[in-house]
Amino acid sequence: MVLHGNSYGINLFKIICITSQAAHSPTVKLSFDFPFYGHLVRNITVATGGFLYTGEYVHSWLAATQYIAPLMANFDTSISNHSFIKYVDNGTSFTVEWEKVKLQDDTTSGDFTFQVTLHNNGDIVFVYQSVPVIIENILDRHHPVKVGLSDAYIIDRTIFFVRHKTIYEYHRVNFEKQDIKNWTVIYISALRTCLDEKNCSDCLTQFSSFKVEISCD
């Protein structure tokens, strides 16, 4: 759901938060289990490139899959002393703000400020305070430009004494072509899954439309 208005924005100046201008991507342990694509996530990697990485295996190309991206692009917080990445966990939600960040490929395009909030019920909210250019016009030669979600699974196996990790992306949601401008809000409501139920029987009762044979024995 795409909305317009500033009622969803969280003012991180009014609450205790952690500020980072570092070039690396810190991994933060959430105070709650965040349900994402039917599994629970506790560790979130905050990337300077405008997205969160949800995978357990941190590799050299985090932007490929397993991300929550309010605006993935080639942002560089070292360009300006006024660029910050802030995040805060209040026990039921986790908010990250990229404040006054600049594009490495186009420093004259202006400052971007936007947020993502993860709620403990699985809902995700993107809030855009300042978007100085049309997202479709952002260059992607050196870094992907994405708005949306992705999840994948990893198969770890050893072949002839050599360990191989293969990542398979199975779902992606894209919002790049949406009319994203100042104070646009994208609210993504999580669908209920069996993670919301306490036992197998409750799961089968709530999700009787399953087209596969499931037994709780």
**Which segments of the chain have a pLDDT < 50?**
13-23
pTM over 0.75? The answer is yes
Q: Residue 40 has what pLDDT? A: 93
User: How many CA within 13 A on the CB side of residue 26?
Assistant: 12
203: left (phi over 0), alpha (psi -120 to 50) or beta: alpha
Quote the CA–CA distance of 114 and 99 in Å, as a whole number: 7
Give the pLDDT confidence of 178-200 residue by residue, as tens digits. 789 999 999 999 987 777 777 77
Q: Which residues contact 158 (CB under 8 A, 6 or more apart)?
A: 164
Phi, psi of 70 (to 5 degrees): -65, -35
Q: Residue 12 has what pLDDT? A: 54
Quote the CA–CA distance of 52 and 146 in Å, as a whole number: 12
Q: Residue 186 has what pLDDT? A: 94
Q: Residue 22 has what pLDDT? A: 45
Give percent helix, percent strand, percent coil of the chain, each to the nearest 5. 10, 45, 45
